Amino acid sequence: MNRNSVNWHGSFAVIVTPFKQDGSIDEAGYRQIIDFIIDSGCHGVITAGSTGEFFLMSSDERKRVFEICVDQTAGRVPVIACPAAIRTEDVVDYTKAAKKVGCDGVMVLPPIYVKISDNEIEEFYKRVAGEGGLPLMLYNSPFAVNVYLTPKLIEKLVKIDEVVAIKDSSFDMLQFSNLVRSVKDEIRLFIGLEHMFVPALAIGADGAVAMSPPIAGRMASELYDSYVAGDLARAQELHVRMARLYDIFEVGSMYSCIKESLKLQGMPGGYTRAPMLPFDEEQKAKLAAILSELGLLEARKAAE
């Protein structure tokens, strides 16, 4: 396999998993979110990623979420599952489950929490790729997992047959530039932060894998589409708006921000699970002010 083995590009949405007040998964709400992002023009969906709170779900719940996502997407866009875990055996198990229900690929973090050597990381990815049997998107998120996938290491990892893409959330455009120079001809390159999307596209990114589409709606996909169409002025305008949207993450816990923003827009954001807490009224007001400034509250109401 290589970058031409998949048609992954554009705005990929990492979506929340809405929980009911009793803690169960709101399957109807999850399906509604999937339909909304696809109708808004997103080019792919990530199920049970960090934004989906995989770390707060049981193994059976995570596998069920994979299944729901594939079923609801119904082939309209690619579905990529996140099989993150500490034990290699668990990552392989989740990857096999994703393949069984029809996911198009997996987005794989290095083992969570454990700081391991480059040789150990390479062996980890070889096992997941070889035993899991799905196209694999590397996921570089050093601030989350305490492991940094450097360009030098990535040059080795792309030689693994199943590796076809990477999501880079290093917050480092120099890192991304080095990836463009070294591996763009071999794998697809996705930036992990949409307020860095336009500069990433300018130097060769294939897309973004990020959190805003359920909140931003068509703005997220239009940012990509306008750049690709050559409308740089519109892409720059949307970049500024996206950067303002990212200010919501200063209000409180990142994943709670997304859920609370969805609920303010009348969407099934659902509840979170401990240790995260629901927002208080002051936090909700701050979110509402940003969403209103961007016209997102009014736009969602007008669509109802």
- In this predicted structure, what is the pLDDT of residue 114? 87
pTM to 2 decimal places: 0.96
The 10s digit of each residue's pLDDT in 246-295 is 999 999 999 999 999 999 999 999 998 999 999 999 999 999 999 999 99
CA–CA gap between residue 191 and residue 239 (Å, rounded): 14
**Could you tell me how many residues make up the chain?**
304
Domains of the chain: 3-230 (3.20.20.70)
The 10s digit of each residue's pLDDT in 97-110 is 999 999 999 999 99
* Percentage of the chain lying above the pLDDT 70 cut: 98
User: Which residues are CB-neighbours of 127 under 8 A, at least 6 positions away?
Assistant: 88, 92
Q: Cβ(156)–Cβ(120) under 8 Å?
A: no
- Output the average pLDDT for the chain: 96
Q: Cβ(49)–Cβ(78) under 8 Å?
A: no
Question: What is the H or E stretch that residue 213 is in?
Answer: helix 213-216
Tokens 């169960």 appear where? 24
CA–CA gap between residue 129 and residue 104 (Å, rounded): 13
- In this predicted structure, what is the pLDDT of residue 299? 63
The 10s digit of each residue's pLDDT in 152-169 is 999 999 999 999 999 999
**Peptide bond connecting 214 to the previous residue in cis, omega within 30 degrees of 0:** no
Biggest alpha carbon distance in the chain? Answer: 54
What token pair was written down for 73? 């997407």
Q: Name the pLDDT band for 212 (thresholds 50, 70, 90).
A: very high
Q: Name the pLDDT band for 144 (thresholds 50, 70, 90).
A: confident
Average pLDDT over residues 122-148: 95
User: At residue 115, does pLDDT exceed 90?
Assistant: no
- In this predicted structure, what is the pLDDT of residue 146? 83
CA–CA gap between residue 267 and residue 292 (Å, rounded): 15
Q: Are strands 188-191 and 207-210 parallel, antiparallel or unpaired?
A: parallel
What end-to-end distance do the CA atoms of the chain give, in Å? 43
- In this predicted structure, what is the pLDDT of residue 301? 59
- In this predicted structure, what is the pLDDT of residue 303? 58
